[in-house]
């Protein structure tokens, strides 16, 4: 998907600074218009600056990112913010300040449950529509209660202990089990047509209420395992009330069936039904004063014996005792734990990664043709010069600086690849592709959280590397706003290149999609002081931004944000505007240029090549002025601009 990147150009930079040896070399600045991949405009409304990079020092690319640039392969591009249809703001997060939300916490717990063998790998995946596991959980056909969620029942069966679930999810499963038992006890028609059976509501028992409801099982004998009351349900009282309201209207009702309608008798009947026909994940169910109480069993041996596989069918009386006997002897086999490995590898072509990328693009993004050449150009080629780690040097991380592919393997199977750049101040997330069969794990969100963790850990060895860059934030595109969920984040001002707290920037962007974010003095008094990081004013010390992952289902995340630029399309594009006058006078005297392999500053150019025609000189000056304006004075003085 094209991002409106700009025309061809290249530059190279030499000179002092961190990031290792070599030099940064770029070729010819240009500007280009294209259709927008975010708002799907019909015209060429996306406008960007562009450069082709032969080589880039890590610190030079860091500085470019902090001026709103980013890369697609070896192509560098920067949206022309005041003119493009969808302004794109660099967004970053200080890893040590990251606050994990409840939703993000659920993603981590879901992965842990999967690795522990507690989550069916098919739940949530597209393939599970015909899964035998799900179809074996057939619903009772004769129950007057609401249908049970198959997925929740699946998860409920896989549980060994309630604390493996979010509390509300577990309680929902328990309520569904009670509804099944109610349906078994009161078949359709036995109570009359007007009797509407209520739905069960399970509540957590607070410590101060345990004595009132029954702190421990009343018929517990001396020497038996200790049982702790966890949940209770008063469904029996509600059933009695519903029956009594309907009885006067149902003169012909079968009173022999409903003769005993006290809460105690109904609670006992439900408890017996659940014990015989329902798996309640190691909990013991008891009837107590009309309530259904659920206790945890602390004896593991007894718990395993009562953890049985459930059938939600209601068996007839002749087979119930046999069915109960079979179920009691059926012990759940513990699931095998899975192993997750995360490895950081230098960017290179890997056939296994390319095969995964093909599956991802065709199944998730519906692309018909995915070529090896486009994959290499987009995600393998990189201009960033690799800097190896140095013993005793705390300025370079253990993996070094450069472009990397972070592989995620589960039991040896490659399930996701995060394409990232490791730079002097940050991990810049560029793209993520993953196995569609594992979409239920929300790998876009999960890998983002792991990348944040990587920055936290690496900062212990490399104190300057403390930021996580998520690429571009686009306020006008709803699919791209998910990045602001990684809090507290900052957006880059497109004019002064200062970092502004997202909460403040959002108020400006709500009024105008293009805003000078650092013009926030008028609203700072109304909000808490933003947690801006102190940045050195020198461009070479700014941070970098790239787009992260995508997400998958919930993870429409990062991978959608990093736009692939077709190199051939860009190079063949002739609509390059380099003639526009600059609004202000820009010093280009010290711009370093490549001239037949020699490094020459612009001010010395005519002394080296001789007199240049005025019209050609003016054209070169305009082009260099634009180049200096978009990359910054300091970078243009040390990067090599190849004509």
Alpha carbons 637 and 597: distance in angstroms, whole number:
17
CA angle at 404 for the pair 401 and 409, rounded to the nearest 5°? 135
* Residue 578, in any domain of the structure: no
- Mean pLDDT (whole number) for 80-108: 94
Q: Rounded to the nearest 5°, which phi and psi values hold at 93?
A: -145, 135
Mean pLDDT of the chain: 75
Contact 50, 75 (CB under 8 A): yes
- Residue range 60-71, pLDDT digits in tens: 999 999 999 999
Q: Are residues 496 and 383 in the same domain?
A: yes
Q: Are residues 401 and 499 in the same domain?
A: yes
Contact 39, 65 (CB under 8 A): no
Q: Are residues 379 and 281 in the same domain?
A: no
Q: Are residues 623 and 507 in the same domain?
A: no
Percent of the chain whose predicted confidence (pLDDT) is above 90: 41
Buried b (16+ CB within 10 A) or exposed e, 140-157: beebbbeebebbbbbbbb
Q: Identify which of 308-312, 522-526, 527-531, 588-592 has the greatest average pLDDT.
A: 588-592
Alpha carbons 452 and 41: distance in angstroms, whole number:
34
Residue 182: closest CA among 138, 142, 149: 142
Least confident of 40-49, 266-275, 320-329, 532-541: 532-541
The pTM for the full model equals: 0.63
Residue 360: closest CA among 539, 190, 552: 552
Q: Are residues 353 and 478 in the same domain?
A: yes
- Residue range 399-413, pLDDT digits in tens: 999 999 999 999 999
Domain that holds residue 267: 228-242+262-297
Task: Give the per-residue pLDDT at 568.
Answer: 39
**8-state DSSP, 380:** I
Residue 193: closest CA among 247, 240, 147, 157: 247
Percent of the chain whose predicted confidence (pLDDT) is above 70: 66
Contact 184, 197 (CB under 8 A): no
Q: Are residues 374 and 512 in the same domain?
A: yes
Alpha carbons 301 and 295: distance in angstroms, whole number:
16
Query: Is residue 95's pLDDT more than 90?
Result: yes
Q: Rounded to the nearest 5°, which phi and psi values hold at 8?
A: -65, 155
Distance of CA 632 to the CA centre of its chain: 34
Alpha carbons 51 and 28: distance in angstroms, whole number:
6
Least confident of 48-57, 112-121, 489-498: 112-121
Residue 386 — pLDDT band, cuts 50, 70, 90?
A: very high
Contact 91, 49 (CB under 8 A): no
Q: Are residues 343 and 293 in the same domain?
A: no
Q: Look up tokens 């594009």; give the residue.
A: 573
Task: Give the per-residue pLDDT at 104.
Answer: 96
**8-state DSSP, 567:** H
Cα–Cα separations (whole angstroms), residue 601 to 359, 581, 593, 605 = 49, 22, 6, 6
Q: Rounded to the nearest 5°, which phi and psi values hold at 102?
A: -60, -40
Torsion of CA 322, 324, 325, 326, to 10 degrees: 90
Q: Are residues 287 and 349 in the same domain?
A: no
Least confident of 7-21, 235-249, 628-642: 7-21
Measured in Å, how far apart are the chain's first and last C-alpha atoms?
29
Cα–Cα separations (whole angstroms), residue 97 to 66, 113, 468, 487, 524 = 20, 27, 11, 8, 21
Q: How many CA atoms does the CB half-sphere of 393 hold within 13 Å? A: 16
Alpha carbons 147 and 210: distance in angstroms, whole number:
31
* Residue 507, in any domain of the structure: yes
- Residue range 124-139, pLDDT digits in tens: 444 443 333 333 223 3
Give me the number of domains the chain comprises.
3
* Residue 325, in any domain of the structure: no
Q: Are residues 370 and 429 in the same domain?
A: yes
Put residue 311 in one of left, alpha, beta given phi > 0 → left and psi -120 to 50 → alpha.
beta
**8-state DSSP, 256:** T
Contact 397, 334 (CB under 8 A): no
Q: Give the list of residues 6+ apart from residue 550 with CB closer than 8 angstroms, or none.
A: 431, 432, 433, 444, 556, 557, 558, 559, 560, 561
- Residue range 520-550, pLDDT digits in tens: 755 555 554 434 333 232 222 223 333 333 3
Q: Are residues 388 and 268 in the same domain?
A: no
Query: Domain boundary residue among 475, 507, 522?
Result: 522
* Residue 440, in any domain of the structure: yes
Q: Rounded to the nearest 5°, which phi and psi values hold at 75?
A: -95, 130
**Domain CATH for 509:** 3.40.630
* Residue 618, in any domain of the structure: yes
Regarding predicted confidence, which is higher, 572 or 347? 347
- Residue range 153-170, pLDDT digits in tens: 444 444 434 444 456 777
* Residue 459, in any domain of the structure: yes
* Residue 146, in any domain of the structure: no
* Residue 406, in any domain of the structure: yes
Q: Are residues 497 and 365 in the same domain?
A: yes
Q: Look up tokens 């104190």; give the residue.
A: 463
- Residue range 251-297, pLDDT digits in tens: 444 454 455 578 888 888 888 888 776 656 668 888 888 888 888 86
Q: Are residues 511 and 366 in the same domain?
A: yes
**8-state DSSP, 321:** H
Q: Give the list of residues 6+ apart from residue 119 with CB closer than 8 angstroms, or none.
A: 110, 113, 155, 158
Handedness of CA 286, 287, 288, 292 (dihedral sign): positive
Task: Give the per-residue pLDDT at 537.
Answer: 28
Put residue 382 in one of left, alpha, beta given phi > 0 → left and psi -120 to 50 → alpha.
beta
Alpha carbons 409 and 407: distance in angstroms, whole number:
6
Tokens (6 digits) for 574 = 């002739």
Tokens (6 digits) for 573 = 């594009």
């Amino acid at each position: 998907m094209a991002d409106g990147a700009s025309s061809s150009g290249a530059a190279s930079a030499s000179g002092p600074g961190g990031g290792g040896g070599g030099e940064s070399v770029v070729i010819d600045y240009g500007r280009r218009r294209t259709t927008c991949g975010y708002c799907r405009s019909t015209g060429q409304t996306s406008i960007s600056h562009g450069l082709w990079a032969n080589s880039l020092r890590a610190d030079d690319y860091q500085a470019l990112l902090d001026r709103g640039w980013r890369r697609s392969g070896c192509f560098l591009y920067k949206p022309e913010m005041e003119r493009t249809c969808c302004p794109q703001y660099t967004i970053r997060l200080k890893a040590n300040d990251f606050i994990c939300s409840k939703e993000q916490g659920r993603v981590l717990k879901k992965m842990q449950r999967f690795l522990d063998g507690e989550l069916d790998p098919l739940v949530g995946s597209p393939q599970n529509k015909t899964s035998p596991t799900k179809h074996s959980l057939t619903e009772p056909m004769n129950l007057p209660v609401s249908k049970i969620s198959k997925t929740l029942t699946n998860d409920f069966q896989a549980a060994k202990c309630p604390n493996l679930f979010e509390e509300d999810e577990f309680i929902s499963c328990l309520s569904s089990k009670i509804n099944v038992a109610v349906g078994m006890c009161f078949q359709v028609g036995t109570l009359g047509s007007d009797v509407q059976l209520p739905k069960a509501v399970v509540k957590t028992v607070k410590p101060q209420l345990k004595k009132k409801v029954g702190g421990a099982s009343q018929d517990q004998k001396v020497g038996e395992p200790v049982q702790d009351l966890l949940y209770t349900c008063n469904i029996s009282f509600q059933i009695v009330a519903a029956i009594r309201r309907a009885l006067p209207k149902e003169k012909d009702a079968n009173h022999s069936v409903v003769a005993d309608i006290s809460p105690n008798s109904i609670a006992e009947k439900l408890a017996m039904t659940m014990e015989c026909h329902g798996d309640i994940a190691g909990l013991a169910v008891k009837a107590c004063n009309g309530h259904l109480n659920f206790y945890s069993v602390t004896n593991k041996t007894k718990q395993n014996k009562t953890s049985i596989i459930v059938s939600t069918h209601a068996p007839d009386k002749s087979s119930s005792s046999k069915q109960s006997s079979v179920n009691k002897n059926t012990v759940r086999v513990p699931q095998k734990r899975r192993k997750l490995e995360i490895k950081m590898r230098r960017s290179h072509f890997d056939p296994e990664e390319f095969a995964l990328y093909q599956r991802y693009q065709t199944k998730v993004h519906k692309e018909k043709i995915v070529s090896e050449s486009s994959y290499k150009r987009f995600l393998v080629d990189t201009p960033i010069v690799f800097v190896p780690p140095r013993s005793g040097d705390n300025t370079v991380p253990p993996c070094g600086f450069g472009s990397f592919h972070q592989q995620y393997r589960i039991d040896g199977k490659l399930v996701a690849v995060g394409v990232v750049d490791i730079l002097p101040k940050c991990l810049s997330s560029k793209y993520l592709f993953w196995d569609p069969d594992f979409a239920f794990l929300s790998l876009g969100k999960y890998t983002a959280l792991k990348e944040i963790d990587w920055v936290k850990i690496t900062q212990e060895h490399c104190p300057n590397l403390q930021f996580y860059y998520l690429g571009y934030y686009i306020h006008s595109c709803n699919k791209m706003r998910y990045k602001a969920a990684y809090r507290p984040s900052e957006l880059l001002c497109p004019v002064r290149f200062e970092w502004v707290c997202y909460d403040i920037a959002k108020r400006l962007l709500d009024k105008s999609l293009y805003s000078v974010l650092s013009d926030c003095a008028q609203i700072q008094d109304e909000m808490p002081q933003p947690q801006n990081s102190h940045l050195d004013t020198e461009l070479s010390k700014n941070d970098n931004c790239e787009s992260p992952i995508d997400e998958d289902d919930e993870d429409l995340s990062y991978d959608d944000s990093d736009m692939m630029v077709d190199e051939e399309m860009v190079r063949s594009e002739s609509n390059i505007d380099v003639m526009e006058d600059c609004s202000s006078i820009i010093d280009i005297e010290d711009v370093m240029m490549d001239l037949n392999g020699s490094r020459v500053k612009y001010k010395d150019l005519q002394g080296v090549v001789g007199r240049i025609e005025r019209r050609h000189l003016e054209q070169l000056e305009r082009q260099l002025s634009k180049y200096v304006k978009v990359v910054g004075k300091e970078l243009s003085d040390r990067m090599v601009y190849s004509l």
